[in-house]
Protein backbone atom coordinates (compact mmCIF):
# COMPACT_ATOMS: atom_id res chain seq x y z
CA UNK A 1 0.00 0.00 0.00
CA UNK A 2 1.38 3.40 -0.92
CA UNK A 3 1.72 6.19 1.62
CA UNK A 4 -1.07 8.04 -0.22
CA UNK A 5 -3.40 5.04 0.01
CA UNK A 6 -2.53 4.57 3.68
CA UNK A 7 -3.25 8.26 4.31
CA UNK A 8 -6.70 7.90 2.69
CA UNK A 9 -7.52 4.86 4.84
CA UNK A 10 -6.21 6.52 8.00
CA UNK A 11 -8.22 9.70 7.44
CA UNK A 12 -11.39 7.61 7.26
CA UNK A 13 -10.99 5.91 10.65
CA UNK A 14 -12.33 7.38 13.89
CA UNK A 15 -12.36 6.54 17.55
CA UNK A 16 -15.61 7.53 19.27
CA UNK A 17 -15.85 7.79 23.05
CA UNK A 18 -18.89 7.66 25.30
CA UNK A 19 -19.46 6.90 28.98
CA UNK A 20 -22.25 5.30 30.96
CA UNK A 21 -22.94 4.57 34.60
CA UNK A 22 -22.89 0.75 34.56
CA UNK A 23 -20.77 -2.00 33.04
CA UNK A 24 -23.83 -3.81 31.68
CA UNK A 25 -25.01 -0.65 29.90
CA UNK A 26 -21.53 -0.16 28.43
CA UNK A 27 -21.49 -3.73 27.14
CA UNK A 28 -24.99 -3.38 25.67
CA UNK A 29 -23.97 -0.19 23.82
CA UNK A 30 -20.76 -1.82 22.58
CA UNK A 31 -22.40 -5.06 21.46
CA UNK A 32 -25.36 -3.43 19.73
CA UNK A 33 -23.11 -1.03 17.78
CA UNK A 34 -20.81 -3.83 16.62
CA UNK A 35 -23.76 -6.08 15.73
CA UNK A 36 -25.21 -3.23 13.64
CA UNK A 37 -21.82 -2.76 11.90
CA UNK A 38 -21.65 0.81 13.19
CA UNK A 39 -18.29 0.01 14.79
CA UNK A 40 -15.71 -2.66 14.05
CA UNK A 41 -15.04 -3.07 17.74
CA UNK A 42 -15.58 -1.38 21.07
CA UNK A 43 -13.45 -1.47 24.17
CA UNK A 44 -14.88 -0.99 27.63
CA UNK A 45 -12.75 0.54 30.38
CA UNK A 46 -13.81 1.11 33.93
CA UNK A 47 -14.79 1.95 36.31
CA UNK A 48 -13.33 5.43 35.97
CA UNK A 49 -14.03 8.43 38.15
CA UNK A 50 -15.58 11.36 36.31
CA UNK A 51 -15.66 14.87 37.76
CA UNK A 52 -17.89 17.28 35.86
CA UNK A 53 -20.15 20.29 36.14
CA UNK A 54 -23.86 19.47 35.67
CA UNK A 55 -26.78 21.82 36.24
CA UNK A 56 -24.70 24.28 38.25
CA UNK A 57 -23.02 21.77 40.57
CA UNK A 58 -19.73 19.89 40.46
CA UNK A 59 -20.48 16.17 40.47
CA UNK A 60 -18.37 13.04 40.84
CA UNK A 61 -19.52 9.71 39.43
CA UNK A 62 -18.27 6.22 38.67
CA UNK A 63 -18.57 5.52 34.94
CA UNK A 64 -17.49 3.08 32.26
CA UNK A 65 -15.93 4.33 29.03
CA UNK A 66 -16.75 2.77 25.69
CA UNK A 67 -14.26 3.44 22.89
CA UNK A 68 -15.61 2.55 19.45
CA UNK A 69 -13.46 2.09 16.32
CA UNK A 70 -15.39 3.06 13.22
CA UNK A 71 -15.22 4.52 9.73
CA UNK A 72 -15.82 8.22 9.21
CA UNK A 73 -18.83 7.58 6.98
CA UNK A 74 -20.52 5.60 9.81
CA UNK A 75 -20.16 8.35 12.43
CA UNK A 76 -23.64 9.89 12.08
CA UNK A 77 -25.33 6.49 12.32
CA UNK A 78 -23.18 5.52 15.32
CA UNK A 79 -23.96 8.80 17.08
CA UNK A 80 -27.69 8.32 16.45
CA UNK A 81 -27.43 4.74 17.78
CA UNK A 82 -25.67 5.89 20.96
CA UNK A 83 -28.23 8.66 21.53
CA UNK A 84 -31.15 6.25 20.95
CA UNK A 85 -29.83 3.64 23.39
CA UNK A 86 -28.22 5.90 26.00
CA UNK A 87 -30.09 6.93 29.13
CA UNK A 88 -28.12 10.13 29.85
CA UNK A 89 -29.85 13.40 29.00
CA UNK A 90 -26.63 14.66 27.39
CA UNK A 91 -24.34 11.69 26.71
CA UNK A 92 -20.68 12.27 26.03
CA UNK A 93 -20.07 11.46 22.37
CA UNK A 94 -16.65 12.57 21.16
CA UNK A 95 -15.01 11.52 17.90
CA UNK A 96 -11.32 11.81 17.09
CA UNK A 97 -9.64 10.97 13.80
CA UNK A 98 -7.08 8.19 13.71
CA UNK A 99 -4.03 10.00 12.38
CA UNK A 100 -1.86 6.91 11.97
CA UNK A 101 -2.37 3.17 12.17
CA UNK A 102 -1.38 -0.11 10.64
CA UNK A 103 -2.80 -0.54 7.15
CA UNK A 104 -4.23 -3.97 7.96
CA UNK A 105 -6.08 -2.73 11.04
CA UNK A 106 -7.50 0.28 9.22
CA UNK A 107 -8.65 -1.93 6.36
CA UNK A 108 -10.31 -4.23 8.91
CA UNK A 109 -12.23 -1.27 10.42
CA UNK A 110 -13.43 -0.29 6.94
CA UNK A 111 -14.46 -3.87 6.08
CA UNK A 112 -16.29 -4.50 9.37
CA UNK A 113 -18.29 -1.27 9.14
CA UNK A 114 -19.20 -1.70 5.47
CA UNK A 115 -22.95 -1.52 4.98
CA UNK A 116 -22.98 -4.34 2.40
pLDDT value for 3:
54
Distance CA 37, CA 82 (A): 13
pLDDT value for 115:
81
| Beta-carbon count within 10 A of 63 CB | 22
DSSP state of 86: -
Span 59-74, mean pLDDT? 97
Distance CA 80, CA 63 (A): 21
Average pLDDT, the chain: 92
Whether the Cβ atoms of residue 78 and residue 14 lie closer than 8 Å to each other? no
pLDDT digits (tens, 9 = 90+) for 23-65: 999 999 999 999 999 999 999 999 999 999 999 999 999 999 9
Distance CA 72, CA 82 (A): 15
Amino acid sequence: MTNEAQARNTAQALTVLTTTDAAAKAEALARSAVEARLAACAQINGPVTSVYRWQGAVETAEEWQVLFKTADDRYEALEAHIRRHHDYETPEIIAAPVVRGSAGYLEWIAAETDRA
